[in-house]
Amino acid sequence: MQLHKEGYRIIAWSFLVIVIVNYLLHTRNHIFWLNSIFSIASLILFMLIVYFFRFPKRQVHAKPNEVIAPVDGKVVVIEEVFEPEFFKDQRLQISIFMSPLNVHATRYPVGGKVIYSKYYKGKHLVAWHPKSSELNERTTIVVDNPVIGPVMFRQIAGAVARRIENYSKVGDVVEQGADAGFIKFGSRVDVFLPLNTEVDVVIGDKTRGGETIIAEVIIDKSKV
């Protein structure tokens, strides 16, 4: 199983702490059943930590005008909204919620040039709260795709998430499906698309980051 680089340090420190605590417990406490229970529990905890930072390889199979899911999770919002931060006009918003058991790596929904990348401190409302996209800790990234134009996606911290890693820098040329960052311990990602978009998912659909086609932007076929 491939691991995300954001997990290397946490996994190493977790392993060290668990080994030390188990060693001290076994040398100072001679109650066998209690030691065994603690050892099993700490092993399960360590396996969950490792599992959280998994980073499976994904193959992108998308047409030039198709948008892929940036994360694993469940589609919770599909609606037309006014986007006030960058576009300042009406956009189609598709939001994907991630539970703590989902892969938490964020992938670029489209390829192109990063033209906007900004971090905001904020609250930690539950990720499905209607105002979490505007009030929570978040990062906003806009990628200008040569076929469909600029596409925005927003990493949003939830009630549990306390750290967002964003690798996007203005001027970067990125590939669709490439590693864009990581949200630690549960959150959601919003994608903002042009109104001339056909949505390929419905509320409740499960997505696989880097693979699931979530939308197709309708454009002049001569540009594809």
Q: Would the pLDDT of 134 be above 90? A: no
Helix (H, G, I), strand (E, B) or coil at 148: coil
Percent of the chain whose pLDDT exceeds 70 = 88
pLDDT of amino acid 198: 96
- Give the pTM: 0.85
**Residue 187 known to be catalytic:** yes
**Which domain does 203 fall in, by range?**
66-223
Q: Would the pLDDT of 86 be above 80? A: yes
- Same domain flag for 184 and 153: yes
**DSSP characters over 46-103:** HHHHHHHTB---------TTEEE-SSSEEEEEEEEEEETTTT-EEEEEEEEEE-TTS-
Q: Which of 28, 52, 76 is the last residue of a domain?
A: 52
- Same domain flag for 14 and 71: no
- Same domain flag for 123 and 197: yes
Which residue of the set 117, 132, 133, 187 is catalytic? 187
pLDDT of amino acid 162: 58
* Residue 59 counted as domain residue: no
* Residue 58 counted as domain residue: no
Which of these, 95, 151, 105, lies nearest to 126 by C-alpha position? Answer: 95
* Residue 60 counted as domain residue: no
Task: Assess contact for 216 and 63: CB atoms under 8 A.
Answer: yes
Out of 65-79, 136-150, 174-188, 197-211, pick the least confident.
174-188
Region 113-141: what's the mean pLDDT?
75
